[in-house]
Structure 1
Amino acid sequence: MSTVAAPAAVMLPAPRRAVDDVDSVAVLPELWVPEASQWLSSSAGRVALEGYSWMQAVHWVAGAGLYQPRRHRSSGLRSFNATTVFIAQLLAELNPCFPGIEYLMRRTGLSKRIVNYHLAALRETGLLAYISKGTRVRGARAEASEFARMIPVEFDVALGIRTVLRDEAAPAYTRAVTGIAEAGRELMARLGKKAARKLRRPRPKTSPKASLAGARAGADGVAGTAVSAGSRCTPMGGGPNGSSPAGTTSLPPESKLASGADESSSGKKSMGKAGGRKNGRRKLNVIGRRYQLGRELTQQVEWLRGCSAPRVSWVARDLADAGWTVTEVLAWLHLRGTADRVHRGSGLLAVLLHGAETVLDTPAKRADAIEQWRGAQEARRRHRIEQVRADRERYEGDWQLPESRAVHSEMDSAVAQLKSASRAVVPDLVDDTEGAGVTSYEIDGQELADIRAAAQAGLETGDTTLINDTVHGCGLEEAVRVYGEDLILRAHQLDRFRRSSLSSYAYGA
């Protein structure tokens, strides 16, 4: 039986014999609409023309007690309650009835699952029927369902409402009301008063003491005020009974005015009256400190990210009870060290924290551990800065050898081939130039040293122009006499290496 309205005996009057058999009222069986009949085309009820008459049917269903969902399924609501009536009032304000789940969640403060439960209750009682069902397609925008506000046929039978289908070609849900039985007029009047009320969102009970609004709530369990309210009280005009609002003003006692000010009007409360709060913040108890430490560890320890915060709180419960902070726990983990690969973070934490409260049993020891941890953090930060700086200088500076061993081996093999080829070419060139009648020039020692120094400097930068010009102009034998075999061999190696397909590196311009 729902606690929203009056007992079912009031909502369902006992059948009595009237003047005409048409005006008789029947007692109805259980109210349940299967899923296949929750569409407008297959519904047995009639469409409500406006929200007022529909809310009359909603309040009748709420107080009838005919809706027993647990007989058909194990999940969802247990009965038609006050929150269902409040959601129905929100739907009565929409035209067309095209509500979104997010809108109902925002207006009611409920979760998506609970809102869907209440919508299902309205459909299963025949008060709502699908016109079009919302879509939930991945990658596309979700569309809300469109409903038709329906009046179930059980409501018409219970109150003796007579309906007629004015157009034979029209659907059955377009029936119009033509009259009502005498036995249902009184009940219809009471339902009209409830439908005229503007309901407020029901609040969960937080204490056994009933609030003033709850004490003034109606018999349906929903606090509300009539839409057509009478006279209202104003700060200047007094109440509707003509009494002055200043008549109930009470002065503070003289003991409270000893300092010249009323402490009750200053907005300051003592710690005892503030419910154990300090500076507007609630003091945590033992369980709260455990959960706070576990949540901070999952946020600051890298290998604990993704772990269950309640489980981490249970693992670190002894340290939380001893008053440890998350900084002290991080310092202890630095002293213990961690593994390279962590398969189960909470298990590793339990091993590392074993015996921590006995080793660092004083605040001084924990402060010393924190200083060591912070020093290690600073050293790690400086090392990281130096590493980044070295990498930047390495990649933005001059060219260096690649780190790949495969590239090194290919370069070594290419250089070895060039060296072997150049050693074989130099004797051939010497033999070809022998007896060619090349004139030999006499050069003194100082001039020869200057020429060799210039050739050496050119080879260091990859320039072989001076040596090649001497070979082509004076012959290889004269070039060997001037520069020596070592410089001639290096010049040939550079030229062959520059023209090799195994390297894309080139010297000089």
Structure 2
Amino acid sequence: MQYRTPTCQLERANDGDSRQKSTPKLGTQCLHVAPAGQWISTTTGRTATDGHSWMTAVHWAADPKKKRYTATRTHGPRSMNVTTIVIAQELANLKVCRPGIAYLARKAKCSERTVEYHLGMLREAGLLAYRSKGGRVARGVDEASVYERIIPDAFDEALEIRTTGEGVQRRPVGIAESGRKLIGKLAKKAARKVRRPRRRTPVSGGARCTLMEGGTSGSSSTGRSIPPSETRLASGSTSHPTPKKATCGPRKLNKVGRRYQLAQELIANVPWLRRASVARISWIARHCADAGWTWREVQAAAEEHSPIDPADARRPSGLLAHRLKGVHLLYADPASRRLMVTAWEDSRAQEHFRHAGYDQAASPVAVTDTALEAMRTINAVLQPAAAAEDCTEHAEGPLCIETLTRAEVLEHRAFAAADPEYVTTMLLVLGDVDTRRLLTHRIVDQALTLLRLNAPTTANAF
């Protein structure tokens, strides 16, 4: 509607816009910086010369009466509060503004998520700018962001501060008379240390059991003259509302505990596993432990086909892993495991090996008639030659190796290489030193190794 008098006409009435928004006045600026402008290279403000001057700008932006800043997010705090001031004070005291989230949460006594909210508000208000943005770096270490304390252009315009220079390196050189009173109030606020207020009401909402409160209830206990009944006391009540559960007795093992228990039983009872590690055996026998096997069943499965000598078990864990490969699938039910243990205990080879003893060393192999006959033949051939020469100083037995020719030495070595028992005969006749001089170390060690490996078979043959 048009008025006849121009003085009664509303401003901009001819443009057809009925909203009639008024022009924002000085001191009601709305602070908002887009994420692209929150870097030191893109910010429009100037860097603060010291922490005190930056705190004046923080108090100006966080004034609850003016509401110069409102968060654009839909969650978290909507405006700056005391927590924002406390976090800003910690940032102002840093020589290099590189704070950690955990450090600020510990100093401000709040959660890390709250610290992230308020740092985001300081950046969005133009009071902080990134120099470098932190994140996950090599080896999984979180690196903190490096900030620069910024005084926004809205602060200089509101207080009519004159600056010189260009970009973020601008410096104040003066202030108008209208802004001196406000800058003085902000300087006093920046000089005071702000603390978060304590919680006035207890967390539980009820009366606390302290000396100041006088007890656990809000009513006075002096008005009661009749004592409570004995049946209502905790010591005299037959049925307590929260009865205690008996915790005595052995604890129930979980899956890992059962594995370690089986491994300890195997190492304690199986002779060839006594040098093994409990952790390794528990991992190797994990499938058997999960299926409920006993240590006797594991030993029977490992020694089912052939017994194991502790002297030959140089790596017990590897030997057990080789013997137990797939046995938990072969003997899945307890009945099959019982039959397997019974067959293992009744086997003649295992019975002989068990009666002979695991720790008993292999007895020397008896000298056969063939070896003795061969030795007598050689002595009969060598006796005339030995009698012809004087070997009284060198002979140490019935056979003098110093008088042997090269052909005879090669004949002895051929006999020893063909028959390992011939070596044991020479050891009994000549001794270890002369036997090795005559037959060489290689032939003697090879023969002894073959005899040791064939010891159970030879013992069973007798």
TM-score range, shorter chain: 0.3 to 0.5
